[in-house]
Chain A
Amino acid sequence: DIQMTQSPSSLSASVGDRVTITCRASQSISSYLNWYQQKPKKAPKLLIYAASSLQSGVPSRFSGSGSGTEFTLTISSLQPEDFATYYCQQSYSFPWTFGQGTKVEIK
Chain B
Amino acid sequence: EVQVLESGGGLVQPGGSLRLSCAASGFTFSSYAMSWVRQAPGKGLEWVSTISGSGDVTYYADSVKGRFTISRDNSKNTLYLQMNSLRAEDTAVFYCAKGSKPSGVGVWGQGTTVTVSS
Residues of A within 8 A of B (CB): 1, 32, 34, 36, 38, 43-46, 48-50, 55, 87, 89, 91-92, 94-101
Contact = CB atoms under 8 A, between A and B. Distances in A.
Interface of B: 35, 37, 44-47, 50, 59-62, 95, 99-106, 108-111
A55 B105 contact: no
B106 A98 contact: no
Nearest to A47: B104
Contacts, number: 64
Chain B interface secondary structure, helix, strand, loop or mixed? strand
Contact of B104 (A1, A91, A95): A91
A101 B104 contact: no
Given A87-B45, A94-B50, A97-B47, A50 B103 contact: yes
Contacts of A49: 102-104, 106
A1 B46 CA distance: 13
12 contacts: A43-B95, A43-B110, A46-B106, A48-B104, A49-B102, A55-B104, A55-B106, A91-B99, A91-B100, A98-B44, A98-B47, A100-B44
